[in-house]
Structure 1
Amino acid sequence: MINDISKVVTNLRKNVPLVQSITNHVTINDCANILLAFGGSPAMCEAYDESFDFVKIVNALYLNLGTLTKEQEASTIMAAISAKIHNIPVVLDPVACPVIKRKVDVINKIFQLGRVDVIKGNSGEIKFLAGLQAEVRGVDSVGGQDGIIEACITLAKKYKCVVAATGEKDVVSDGTRTAVIDNGVEMLTKVTGAGCMLGALCGGTLGVEKDKFIATCAAVISMGIAGEKAYEDAKLPGSFRVKLMDSIYEVNEEEIRKLAKITFLED
């Protein structure tokens, strides 16, 4: 399976998927740049008057609820509806959903009216959506990862989608296949929006790979490897952030096969 995962990156750079992102205003520039460095084509189209129609021409849609203004809320729901109508895959990042009820309401509307193919969140967000107790502080997960595998599987089966939970170890599941990924470094937690950037990368891989589990694993592994390589040369947050962009640009099929730390679990 690792060969299939590694080929996604080559395919992405060959096809340059267009990814519409309605995302966190704090990290919109980082999301655009890391997706561009990865080989995709970012379009940060969030205007209410444009979001529905723009979805028609993209390869994937990334929805991040981090700084959810009223216009973003309307744009997000309209884009999700358009994605359902036009069969465009969607990545949802449910930022801070355990602490802000309004975001749960928006998530419910997205599922009712639109579509979601991948839910990517931190451990606290995924546990919360799966109906488990979650410890969070603002947008960050502060609890442990106990039960996170079960939470991913439960949530994936509930919504019939792929679920990716980030943390000390990352977990990806489609309800049947589950992978634990151990790439990455702690310095990723010292850079604002590393999770948002991963969501953008998931949009890129989803835009070229029909197997959503394979696509999500490819994005998570690529981000983890890029973090590891960046930390080899940059030990402080500012320089690490710059080096992370360089490193994602350099991640390739051969590196993924060689450096991926992934364990597949039996159902």
Structure 2
Amino acid sequence: MEFQLQTNLLNLRASSPLVHNITNFVVMNYTANALLALGASPVMAHALEEVEDMVAIAGALVVNIGTLAPLWVEGMKLAMTAAANQHKPIVLDPVGAGATPYRNHVLTSLMEAARPTIIRGNGSEILALAGASIQTKGVDSTASSTDTIDAARALSKRFGAVVSVSGATDVIVSGERIAYVSNGVPLMTRVTGMGCSASAIAGAYAAIVQDPFEAAVSAAVTMGVCGELAFSNAKSPGSFQIAFLDSLAEITPAQLAEMAEVR
């Protein structure tokens, strides 16, 4: 499979798409900085009174259920419905799927409100979303990405969505299409907000790339390559966070394509 990684990054930076995020308190600042560093424009808006208006001016919607509250859930539903009606891409990050009955109920209601364009999560989250009975560890995965291929494919066919599973090797599934991205470093799992940033960056690419599968692959490669570049300069979690943002800002389209490990 051929992916236009250079062109996609160039187009993202040239258009600076507005990405509407309804995300969690833990990562809001870091996610916004990640989008800005890469070249997109973030907005964090969850109030019921404005989410539909914000969707109307955004290029994509990213919904992350990390820190739930009833009013936020209502805002997510409104925003997802508006995005679907306006044919705007929706990225759903099912943080902690399977951890609690409430979290599972929220995910069911969101996906009934509107079908996501891209579902991006870790192995345990994808298995739980597909209906598998698993033990979870809060928001951390207890399953590898490659163990979830059948579940990801079933989810993709059921909802007509691209399913992007993070792990040592990221697995991206769209119907019968499947891609594997082997970029990244283990230290990324020790920094809060990496997965949430990956979902936001998937939203940025989805806003400017017509094929959601291509957008999801571009996002996974960007995260992984920038993680490798950051690790070359920073070996501990604190300094790595800053180095990662710098890598998002400094990576060139040619460098992205050259370092990509995707098949």
Q: Into which bin does the TM-score normalised by the smaller protein fall? A: over 0.9
Q: Please give the TM-score of this superposition, normalised by the length of structure 1.
A: 0.95
Matched residue SS, 2:223? helix
Q: Please give the TM-score of this superposition, normalised by the length of structure 2.
A: 0.96
Aligned to 2:21: 21
Q: Are 1:152 and 1:175, in contact at CA under 8 Å, matched by a contact in 2?
A: no
The CA deviation at 1:179 is 0.5
Aligned-CA RMSD value: 1.3
Aligned to 1:70: 70
Q: Report the CA distance shift for 1:205/1:180 in structure 2 as closer, same or farther (over 3 A).
A: same
Letter in 2 for 1:174: S
Where does the alignment leave 5 or more consecutive residues of structure 2 unmatched? none
Aligned to 1:122: 122
1:253 aligns with 2:260: no
Following the alignment from structure 2 to structure 1, what is the Cα–Cα distance between the partners of residues 251 and 134?
33
Aligned to 2:32: 32
Q: Deviations over 1:83-134 (max 9, x none)?
A: 1111111000001111122222222222222231000000000111123343
Aligned 1:123-138 pairs, distance under 5 A: 123-138=123-138
Following the alignment from structure 2 to structure 1, what is the Cα–Cα distance between the partners of residues 143 and 219?
24
Q: Deviations over 1:181-240 (max 9, x none)?
A: 100000101101110011110110001011000001000100000000000010011000
Aligned to 1:236: 236
Following the alignment from structure 1 to structure 2, what is the Cα–Cα distance between the partners of residues 100 and 157?
25
Matched residue SS, 1:205? helix
Q: Which moved more, 1:147-156 or 1:118-127?
A: 147-156
The CA deviation at 1:177 is 1.0
Following the alignment from structure 2 to structure 1, what is the Cα–Cα distance between the partners of residues 178 and 146?
16
Aligned residues: 263
The CA deviation at 1:3 is 4.3
Aligned 1:169-208 pairs, distance under 5 A: 169-208=169-208
Matched residue SS, 2:116? coil
Q: Are 1:125 and 1:134, in contact at CA under 8 Å, matched by a contact in 2?
A: no
Q: Are 1:3 and 1:257, in contact at CA under 8 Å, matched by a contact in 2?
A: no
Aligned to 1:148: 148
Q: Are 1:6 and 1:218, in contact at CA under 8 Å, matched by a contact in 2?
A: no
Q: Which moved more, 1:38-47 or 1:144-153?
A: 144-153
Matched residue SS, 1:137? coil
Matched residue SS, 1:141? coil
Aligned to 2:217: 217
Following the alignment from structure 1 to structure 2, what is the Cα–Cα distance between the partners of residues 89 and 262?
23
Aligned to 1:81: 81
Following the alignment from structure 2 to structure 1, what is the Cα–Cα distance between the partners of residues 107 and 5?
29
Q: Deviations over 1:62-90 (max 9, x none)?
A: 00000011221111011011111111110
Aligned to 1:12: 12
